[in-house]
Structure formats: C-alpha cells, structure tokens
Structure 1
Amino acid sequence: MAAMSPKSPKRVCSQSHLEEHDGLRKTVSFATRRFDPSGLPADMLRVYTSLKERFDEEYALLFVFNMQTAMEMHRAWNMTLLTSKTLKKCSEMVGLTMTWELGVIKLKFFMEDGDFELQRKVPYDYDSEFQDMFMRIASALYNGHMTVHEALLFQEEAKQGKHTAKTGLFIRDYPGRLIVLPAMSSTCAVIFFGGSALCGLVTGLIEYGLLRVGGDATLLIDLAVGLCTGFIGSLFYQADESYCLVSIFMGTLYWFFYGTAFVVGLVEILAGELETGVTRFMAVSIKTFVLCVMACFGMLLAVPNPGQVWEAQSQNCGVINLADQWWRVPLYLA
C-alpha cells in the first residue's frame, strides 16, 4: 500500500468535552468499559490495525463504526438511499475518509482513497427495529452525544437484544415467528379476502425448517412455500367448495411478497440509482413470479381440472360486507 502522510481528521466530541457540557453526564459518570476490537472479522481487524498505526485509535474505530452501521441498517430495511445518507452525514461530521457502494445485497467499502477495500454480502431479514436503533446511535455519535467507544458498545448490545423487549425478541425470529405467520395470514385474509390460517402455519414451519438446515437449502423456501400453499388450498376447496382460493393464496403468500421492495426499487430508479433500483425491481418480480408459479403447480397436483376450479372458486370471493361487521375495526388494528 502506498505510504500516506498522516492526516488530522475532525474528531467527535471527546469524553472530557461531553462531561463538561452535558448536564446529564455531570451526574451520571461515564462507563469505564472500552470497545475491544479483537472480536472483529479478520479483514476488518487488519484495516483497523493499519489505520490505528497510521492515524490513531479513534479514527480506526470510526471506520469500524461506520462499516457496522452500514451493514446493520442495510440488513434491516434494505433502503440504500437512507443508509447512504446516514453514512455520508456521519463521515462528514467526524472527518472520516470513507466511501462505499451499496448494492441490493453486496456492499463495498473503501478507505483512504482506495487504499483499503472490504466487501460484504448482506441479505435482507425483515428486522426494521435494528435500522431505527442503529440510525439513532449514528446520529448520537456525529452530534457529539457519545464517544465512539460508547457507540460501538451500544451497537453490540443492540445486536444482542439488550435494548429490546423480550416479546419483541420472541416474535423476531423462529420459533416465535410461527405465531406471527398464521395470525397475520388469517387476519389479513379475513379482512381483505376471507381465508384461513392453516397454510400460514405450514409455510412458517417450512421456512423454519429450511433456515435451520441453512446453506443452499434456503434457496428452496419460495419453491416449497408456493407449492404447499397451492396444494393445501386446493385440498380445502375439494373438501368444501365454499372456500375462496384467492384469499388462501394471497393471505398466506402475503408474508413472502417483498411489496416494499417494489416501491424502494422505483424510488431508487427515480433518484438516479439505476443499478440498484432496476436490480431490486427485477429480483422481487422474479421472486413473486416463482411463488405464483409454484402455487399454480401445487394446485395442479391437488385437482385434475385447475382451470375450472379457479373459475368456480371466484364466486366465493368478496362475499363479506365489511360495513356490516363490527370485528373489522379490531382486525384492521391488528
């Protein structure tokens, strides 16, 4: 790596400055804990060590903080424009020489005019609370309300769930999410379509099982979910022809459709981020196509004449007059 002359980057507020000017911190003493970088991934630790030698510890820790902020925010809401805006403001306020490329899944980070480059694959995982929490931590750091050590420790504790209610931790992941899927599919389906919750439970078990297996098995989630939804829904109709298959399919697959990603993709295209916007839009379109095709295939396995069944079941859809139902209000709230 080319040698560079040491810089004097702008610093966030020091501990002594905070103790002097923050009224609350005059009565609440600073924690003596310091962030331990030894647990960082090997490549990030290597860049941290080099930056620490060339500049100082605080500057190196600011790099670690910004990179972790980018990964966790992108993992949560997957909104490139919002994540980039937060990183840019943080870098400008603390004087960090860092750039980045935020793709739909792959992230690239560059330090000191390209002397260092790190890459990460960050998949989307539904967890919007982390995005909000990490954005607040970043805001507190670049506004001088906490030191970089405090901010990094806060990030660690947030990922460990120490600042989240136990109920939130329970439904955030499996097996607690097995309650959410059937509850959501039943309420959404009843309000908008008039369906059932059994498929929600089955598809939740399928996703849970494949996630436990891990690896390439997770690629089968959409295929298995769509197939089972079509198959079970068609069996329901065979047993009782009063069911609406549209309600069962839509109520169940609602969880697996990345509806927000369509909107985010369009916003990115309009904002000039064509690469991420078009990629996101096409990826979600293909995912939706796979779910729908597999639901049709599951229906084909269960009934001999799926075309006629689909036409016949349409008469059972939209038969609930919600204006006459008192329970619509609590279900809308749920």
Structure 2
Amino acid sequence: MVTVVDTISGEKRVRHPEKAHRPDNEVARKPAWIRVKAPTSKGYQETRDIVKSNNLVTVCEEAGCPNIGSCWQQKHASFMIMGEICTRACAFCNVATGKPASLDPNEPENVAKAVQQMGLKHVVVTSVDRDDLADGGAQHFVETIRAIRQASPSTTIEILTPDFLRKDGALETVVAARPDVFNHNLETVPSNYLTVRPGARYFHSIRLLQRVKEIDPDMFTKSGIMVGLGEERNEVLQLMDDLRVADVDFLTIGQYLQPTPKHHRVEAFISPDEFKSYEAVAYSKGFLMVSASPLTRSSHHAGDDFAKLQAARAARRGVTM
C-alpha cells in the first residue's frame, strides 16, 4: 500500500491499490472529471489550417493540451516560437528534446499574420528553452511582439517565457518590449525540481518574476504550477507565499497529466473540491486572479482572464473602468 496526503485535510490516506501496484511508467487512467472529447469541430479545423499554412508551431499540439478542442473551436491558439525542439528535458513535458534548428527569421511575421487571420483580441506566445542561444531567444520574443503590434495594434499580448538562466540582460530586453502579461511558470514545488524540472532553479524563477515588477511595476505577471506530482499541500501554500513576495498577480493551478509512459508518473489525481480550496487560499493571499481546476492550463481562457485581471486591478485601486 502507498499513502498520500489529502491536500485539504492534511490527513494521510491509502492510494487505490491499482495505482499503488501499477508500474512506475504506466499511464494512469484519468478520472471522469478530466476526460475530454476528441476535437472534431469546423472551428478546430480552420484554426489548424491557419497554423499549418503559416508554418507555425503551437504549444497546444506539442504539449498535448487537453483543451485544444474547445480552444481551437473558438480560434484561440497559443504559439510556440523558436522551433519545436527544446534544449532541456523536463520530466513532465511532451515537447521533443535535442539540438534545435536555427531560428526562422520569418517566424515573427508569420505569427503576426496568423494572429490577424484569426482575429485574436488576446494572444499567448511561448517558446521552447533555447539554452544554445546567447540571449536565450529574448530578441526573437521582442521581434514577435513588435510584429504582432504592427499587424494587430489592438491585440493584447501575453508571453510565457523560459527562465533565461545565465543569460544576462535577456529578461530586461523582453520586458522593454512591453508585453501586456509576462508569464513564467514555476511548474511545481521546489522539492520536485531535481526530478521534474532538473535544468531549472526554483529561486531563479521566483527572482525573474520579481525582477519584472522592479523594471515595470504596472506589467501584469503570472505563473502556474501542476499538482499531482507528489507535492504536499503545505509546499503549495509556501509556493503561493513566494509568488506573492515577488508581487505576482495571477496564479494558475492545474492537474498534471502524464503524456507518455516515459514521463513522470501521476502521483495523485486532485479532486475539483481540492482545487477550489487552493483557489480560495490563493485569493486570501492577495492574488488578483486565480484559475485552479483539473483542466486549467496557463493559456486556457487567457483572453477572458486578462479582462478579469484588468478589472480586478482597477477595483483594488478604486478605479472605475
């Protein structure tokens, strides 16, 4: 038998025998509350066509996001720039690892064209880790932001960046381009970093988010984690406190789903009630926005959430929008 800690009560409980005895690399069967239908809609196909015709990569596809059907049906897509090969090998991530190709100089313009074709009011741009580049890809982020602004001036831009570890000046370069939201995910609690996110450093990521606010106090910052990786409730609450010290505005919490048998196993499926508990605690700690549910992902409903984020800040400052 294997025991796990209930993330609401803190009490220990026995994990279901099927989970306790399955091989470490076996993909666990998903509970009913996180099963989704296969994407088949006309809107999904139209979005797919726009992405492919512009020779673009999306994190929706590469990371195997469970929300791809609902998002693409509404012509919402999150673009992943700088190729589809990552220089790191995080145990949770389904993006391929290896030696990346050279940057595509046409990619910023292609992203901007797709944003315009899809009529996006809010766009999320992320990337693979590019430790092979001197600036970690910072300038490519800048060029993509500029291209989108030129093609679609009214579109708000959210970026989800790597940690730019050991890339002096990279963060400052990206912040100077003034994206509307700067997102960098912690992914998990610090005790899991050696096994889940070995190429990263927890407190470097916290400092990166804090530095964004020091450079531009009005820029919205955002971070997210996955649960179900063996973390304890107190660790998640401490992580919330660390993010609030860094003045992060928006926190997302979603269920980790094992992409393949080669990836880190799911240690527990967190119930919807437990996610509601995390949401309530996070709001009590001062976050402007919290999205916590089994299917929450960093870019899911990003446009609607940005509008709520603006409204929450205005309300806190006593401003009428």
Pick the TM interval, shorter chain.
under 0.3
Structure with greater strand share of residues = 2
TM-score (norm 1): 0.25
Max Rg structure: 1
TM-score (norm 2): 0.26
Structure with greater helix share of residues = 1
